[in-house]
């Protein structure tokens, strides 16, 4: 457990690369973009169409 604490403390002290604030802002931007575009609705509709097409093809083949 102390090694995790040491890693976190070392990460917080490191000044190279992105700061924690920039990571948080970047993550918030990605999350808000996902919420705004709602990709799950499009994915659900695509899956529903594939299943419907498969059902139609199997019922017309018999």
Count, residues in the chain:
62
Smallest CA-to-CA distance from 44 within 52, 54, 33 is with 52
- Confidence grade of residue 62 (pLDDT, cut at 50, 70, 90): low
Where are the chain's structural domains? 4-60
Structure tokens of 52?
């419907």
- 2-51 per-position pLDDT tens digit: 788 888 888 777 766 667 788 889 999 999 988 888 878 888 889 999 99
pLDDT at 47: 92
pLDDT given for residue 48 in this prediction: 93
Give how far Cα 58 sits from Cα of 6, 45, 46, 54, Å.
60, 20, 18, 6
């Amino acid at each position: 457990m102390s090694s995790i604490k040491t890693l976190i403390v070392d990460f917080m002290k490191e000044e190279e690369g992105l700061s924690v604030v920039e990571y948080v802002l970047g993550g918030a931007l990605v999350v808000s973009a996902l919420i705004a575009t709602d990709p799950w609705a499009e994915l659900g509709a695509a899956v529903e169409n594939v299943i419907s097409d498969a059902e139609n093809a199997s019922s017309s083949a018999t």
